[in-house]
Structure 1
């Protein structure tokens, strides 16, 4: 099992370079925040449209199928599992519904009238109750213990689409944006916070190192799993206590290896003269807004306008 290929979440795709790679990282960050914020208090149709926009955006980038399958397949499978689990679960409304008035008092008029000879008052015949019933049904499907209601469908769409949008939009941003560009974009956008003496450069540098550290963590886990497999351990003979001790030793070794890697990175930065982010400035990325970036920002405004017009509840 190759963890670097089976778990490609958060890894940067260097080739092929798509049009999404060429966009300014600040513009892509604005679009990411748009996808993360517009589902709040939105109707189900807007949430489903966000899923469609993300799928269409992925197809237009011409990402290779193997990456597309690994990146999107796991997220879609997880979202579908959440959808069906929420759909079949109780909707939380356990109170039975009953009409406000008794059924016998629901008397409705029909076009025909009957003349009362004693009181000279027009008494109208009651109409059939089935003529006034609509096609609305709260319970959409019920078979045995399976019960699907309108609220359960709404909850399933809300939760599954929110998870898909949250995970996949962030993953697509990391897939098409280098860690250095993310760092430079955040550092540029958070410049006003320097007036409040917030260490913006230190924060974004820590974020860059953490993003760079993700492949190293996966590589260490992969090496340890392979080392355990090559020893052909008989887990049944070890039992629960012996197996727990083995995995605790593996976890301890993993922690030691990660600390060694972190110490090596710190030593490499010190050898290159890096003392602090304020004294050792590194130009990670040169910002140049192009015409495509301007069109993307215009699309953000149109997207938010559509959200307020059609996406509200």
Structure 2
């Protein structure tokens, strides 16, 4: 299994350059935060709309199908399974249907005293409301379980795929440069903004190295054709502990090499060696994206609030 192709976490798509690549990273970061924050206290229609918008953005950006097909497919499958399991699971509410009849026994008519379920059914049929939406055998879907299933499945897709789409179309240096630009006001409180953004840059650069080391170690174990049945549980545990120890050693060696390379090039402190990664300037399509973002929040506040 090629982990770098099946799980491109934190990887940047250099070619082809789509219109998402050309947007200012600060604008894209604000859009990402809007997707992640507008989900809170929203109704289910808005949550489903966020999922649809992410899919539409991927399609109209003309990102190669080989890049997003497998990731989106697996994520949609996982979201659907979560939706199905949560929908048929018990909702945790015990609802007892009570007839809307007077409590005083003198007011009750004798003809209706023995027909309280029929009265409840009549009220339900007259209003058209039913708490149980589907029931067949042990499978039961209620309004609360359906609402919970929609929340879980949509938030799973929105959080993971929106972040992945942002990392896919934004270089790590652009991400850190945008975050540093947005965090400039925090310098007044003596917060080390440059050190934080540099650490974030190194972290994003280190993710592909971790995947590469895991991939190489897994391939080395597979090529040795180990008979796991003869090893047993204890023997297999020892083998994977050796693999994990080797992985940790390789990662520490990579980190030491990266630190040595930075020190040789003069990266001893942010004041002595500063490198401007990108010249952040808002262009015409960036202002269009900001205007669309304003419309996005207007629709969210007007129609997306949870009742």
The normalised TM-score by structure 2 is: 0.91
Matched, 1:277 2:270: yes
Structure-to-structure mapping, 1:105-254, within 5 angstroms:
130=122, 133-254=126-247
2:281 pairs, out of 288, 294, 309, with: 288
Separation in 1, partners of 2:108, 2:62 = 62
Report the alpha carbon displacement of residue 81 of structure 1 after superposing the two structures with TM: 1.4
CA–CA distance in structure 1, aligned partners of residues 244 and 57 of structure 2:
39
1:18 corresponds to which residue?
18
Q: Tell me the distance in 2 between the aligned counterparts of 1:155 and 1:279.
A: 53
Question: What do you get for the CA RMSD once the two structures are aligned?
Answer: 1.9
How many aligned positions are there? Answer: 294
- The residue number in structure 1 matching 2:48 is 48
- Tell me if 1:82 matches 2:82: yes
Cα deviation digits, residues 38-92 of structure 1 (max 9, x gap): 1100010011111111111111110111102123122212211111111111111
Residue of structure 2 equivalent to 1:118:
none
Q: In structure 1, what is the Cα distance between the partners aligned to 2:34 and 2:264?
A: 41
State the alpha-carbon separation in 2 of the partners of residues 129 and 238 from structure 1.
Answer: 64
Matches within 5 A, 1:89-108: 89-101=89-101
Question: Which whole-Å CA distance do the structure 2 matches of 1:73 and 1:279 have between them?
Answer: 47
1:264 CA displacement: 0.5
Asked whether the 8 Å contact 2:6–2:71 carries over to 1, the reply is no
1:141-197 CA deviation, whole Å, 9 max, x = no partner?
A: 112211101111111111111111111111100000000000100000000101111
- Alpha carbons of structure 1 residues 148 and 278: separation in structure 2 relative to 1, 3 Å: same
- Which segment drifts farther, 128-137 or 33-42? 128-137
SS across alignment from 1:273: coil
Which residue of structure 1 aligns with residue 61 of structure 2?
61
Would you tell me which structure has more helix in proportion to its own residues?
2
Structural mapping, 1:245-264, within 5 Å: 245-264=238-257
Conserved? CA contact 1:87–1:153, under 8 Å: yes
In 2 relative to 1, CA 197–129 (structure 1 residues): closer, same or farther, beyond 3 Å?
closer
Cα gap change, 1:85/1:192 in structure 2, threshold over 3 Å: closer, same or farther?
Answer: same
What is aligned with 1:310? 303
CA contact (8 A) 1:201 1:278 kept: no
CA shift at 1:101, angstroms? Answer: 3.0
The structure with the largest alpha-carbon Rg is 1
Residues 21, 99 of structure 1: alpha-carbon distance in 2 compared, 3 angstrom cutoff: same
Measured in 1, the distance between the counterparts of 2:141 and 2:245 equals 47
Specify the alignment match of 1:27 in structure 2. 27
Q: Which runs of 5+ in 2 are unaligned?
A: 110-118
**CA 42–267 in structure 1, closer or farther in 2 if over 3 Å, else same:** same
Flag as ranges the 4+ runs of structure 1 deviating above 4 A.
102-107
Aligned to 1:37: 37
Task: Give, in whole Å, the separation in 2 of the partners of 1:29 and 1:106.
Answer: 65
Specify every segment of 5 or more residues in structure 1 that has no aligned partner in the other structure, as ranges: 108-126
TM-aligned CA deviation for residue 10 of structure 1:
2.2
The answer on whether the counterparts of 1:9 and 1:71 sit within 8 Å (CA) in structure 2 is no
**Counterpart secondary structure, 2:226:** coil
